[in-house]
Copies of this chain bind each other. A is one copy, B any other.
Amino acid sequence: MKLPVSTEWVLHCATTLAQLEPGASASATQLAQYYDLPAAYLVKQLKLLVKAGVLTANTGPRGGFRLAEPAAGITLLRIVEAVDGESSPYECREIRQQGRGALPPEDCRRTCVLAEKMADAHEAWRRSLAGVTLADILATLPPTAPARTRTRLTGSG
């Protein structure tokens, strides 16, 4: 199982936007140059974050993307699921109900125990990512990081 390559992009872009002055935004071009990423494809990923309520997009000449809410309210889970969806990597096609060993429908009213255990594991993964916010990530950065990020992002440094 693989997450899309863009998962790294959106995690880093959201972390970058979390370092801007309150209310400030950055354009997709600025973010693409900051990380040397293909701008057109990055825009699509950023729009998925807007759709998920993680970012806000401002149109107009001074437009761009910014966090839709404070960094402490945005978990890594929301960012990751914005680009990859919420479904479990395990797909149960109910093979227990087919073939020579097929169980009768009355024995399959409950979810298959194997599917249940796979769902438990997916929930453990989700809980782990739901327990980390962008504010937690920022707290691990050196104190000089936000100023450097802002300067490099606008290309004024």
Measured in the bound complex, the distance between the Cα atoms of B69 and A71 in whole Å is: 49
Interface: A113 (CB within 8 A) = yes
Query: B114, A8: Cβ atoms under 8 Å?
Result: yes
Q: Within the complex, which residue of B7, B36, B96, B140 is in contact with A99, where a contact is CB–CB below 8 Å?
A: B36
Interface of A: prevailing SS = helix
Q: In this complex, which of A99, A137, A142, A153 has the most chain B Cβ atoms within 10 angstroms of its Cβ?
A: A99
Report the count of interface residues on A (CB-CB < 8 A): 57
Query: B113, A121: Cβ atoms under 8 Å?
Result: no
**Within 8 Å CB of A36, what residues of B?**
95, 98-100, 102
Query: B125, A122: Cβ atoms under 8 Å?
Result: yes
Q: Identify the A interface with B (CB < 8 A).
A: 1-3, 5, 7-9, 11-12, 15-16, 32-37, 76, 80, 84, 89-93, 95-96, 98-102, 107, 113-115, 117-118, 120-129, 132, 137, 140-142, 149, 152-153, 155
Closest 6 CB pairs between A and B? A36-B99, A121-B128, A34-B101, A1-B1, A124-B128, A125-B125
